[in-house]
Amino acid sequence: MQFFENIIGTIGKTPLIKLNKIVEDLPCTVLAKYETFNPGNSVKDRIGLKMINDAEKKGLLKPGGTIIEGTSGNTGMGLAIVAISRGYKCIFVTSDKQSKGKLDVLRAFGAEVIVCPTNVDPDDKRSYYSVSKRLGEETPNSWYVNQYDNPSNAKAHYESTGPEIWEQTDGRITHFVVGVGTGGTISGVGKFLKKMNPNIKIWGVDAYGSVLKKYHETGVFDQDEIYPYVTEGIGEDMIPENINFDIIDGFIKVTDKDAALFCRELVRKEAMFLGNSAGAAIKGVLQLEKNFTKDDVVVVLFHDHGSRYINKIYNDEWMKQMGYLE
């Protein structure tokens, strides 16, 4: 018989799928690393498993312990899947800009969810960074994950996502494009791909209102770059330790409106029902057109599933309220 011992065994080994209509004006081949095939429907399942495995090995996470993390939803899901299998409790702290669907899913998995305001500085005691850190210090027998600075985040992608992409493209990949938040995906995948072929270009997709692009280009942390934005899953108002800027060749910014509209384009042109960051990622690829030739193989990573955004980017009323639809 062929079966997995539990749901954890299904994490990783996601397919690579050719994009067609949405990239028909590009000269290159564009392939999507389709991370919604993970059991939690996102790329974050990979880091949830890796961070817990490493914490157990280091004695940071003990039997019956509580996992505490600040998360936009997807990392919480990845952690919760492993936690259920291994008998841990979860407390997740998130911001009030996240989709209600994400929070409902976390609660369905038995997690306690605490919602904090978005429009405060990271070091403000009300921010979800600060609250999650404080809970980690105050809660007995707990482990504060800290995906932003946890090296196991990038290692998960160096050990799994990167090698999968290299093998699936027979080493022919020339460009890797991905939305950047904590920096784990781009840094882990980028490090592996650059090791295999230093000529591969690594591109990050950033949001307007985030500091990452300017910091990469100038080394300056500019507070004036920070303002509220809608796109979920990418961009930061701080610099996570996980981001290895040295392996990133460049950043491209995508507007909130384009990120939302191109999610809808992916559904209608490719039958791919994906989350907010996927719209930003594919629009980023299209904006990078001048960097591609007919012989190039571009891989774009799609982070999560569209079901978590039903009440936002796939809801006409919400889109009209935001001014994205007439």
Which SS3 state, helix, strand or coil, does residue 24 take? coil
pLDDT at 278 over 90: yes
Alpha carbon distances (Å) from 180 to 63, 73, 200, 311: 33, 15, 18, 24
Tokens of 194: 């650059």
The total number of residues written for the chain in this structure: 326
Q: How many CA atoms lie within 13 A of 298 on its CB side?
A: 26
Question: Can you tell me the distance from the alpha carbon of 44 to that of 23, in angstroms, rounded to the nearest whole number?
Answer: 26
Amino acid 51: pLDDT? 98
What residue ranges define each of the domains in the chain, with the CATH number in brackets?
Answer: 7-37+161-319 (3.40.50.1100), 44-144 (3.40.50.1100)
CB atoms near residue 251 (< 10 Å): 20
Q: What is the dihedral of CA 117, 144, 147, 210, to 10 degrees?
A: 20
The single residue of 33, 44, 89, 312 carrying the catalytic annotation is: 44
The CA distance from 109 to 105, in Å, is: 6
What's the pLDDT at 128?
84
**Known catalytic membership, residue 213:** no
What local confidence, expressed as pLDDT, does residue 184 receive? 97
User: What does the pLDDT average to over 212-239?
Assistant: 94
Rounded-to-5 percentages of helix, strand, coil across the chain: 45, 15, 40
Instruction: Give mean pLDDT, residues 53-61.
Output: 97
Residue 65 binned pLDDT confidence (cut-offs 50, 70, 90)? very high
Q: If you average pLDDT over every residue of the chain, what do you get?
A: 95
Predicted confidence (pLDDT) at residue 58 exceeds the cutoff of 80: yes
Mean pLDDT of 307-315: 93
Which residue is it, tokens 């690829």? 285
Question: DSSP string of 106-153?
Answer: HHHTT-EEEEE-SSS-TTSTTSHHHHHHHHHHHSTTEEE--TTT-HHH
Q: What is the mean pLDDT of residues 287-314?
A: 96
Task: Give the C-alpha separation, 32 to 173, whole Å.
Answer: 12
Average confidence (pLDDT) over 64-89: 94
Measured distance CA(326)–CA(322) in Å, rounded = 10
Does pLDDT of 241 surpass 90?
A: yes
Contact by Cβ (8 Å): 64, 141 = yes
Q: Determine the pLDDT at residue 296.
A: 98
pLDDT in tens, 9-39: 999 999 999 999 999 999 999 999 999 999 9
What does the pLDDT read at residue 88? 98
pLDDT tens-digit map of 107-152:
999 999 999 988 888 788 888 888 998 999 999 999 999 999 999 9
Burial zone of 322 (CB within 10 Å; 0-12 exposed, 13-18 middle, 19+ buried): middle
Q: Is the pLDDT of residue 72 over 80?
A: no
- Distance between alpha carbon 269 and the CA centroid of its chain, in Å? 23
Per residue in 206-222, pLDDT (tens digit) is: 999 999 999 999 999 99
Most confident listed range (72-86, 223-237, 286-300) = 286-300
The SS3 assignment for 169 reads coil
Is 280 in a helix, a strand, or coil? helix
Q: Are 281 and 177 in contact (CB under 8 A)?
A: yes
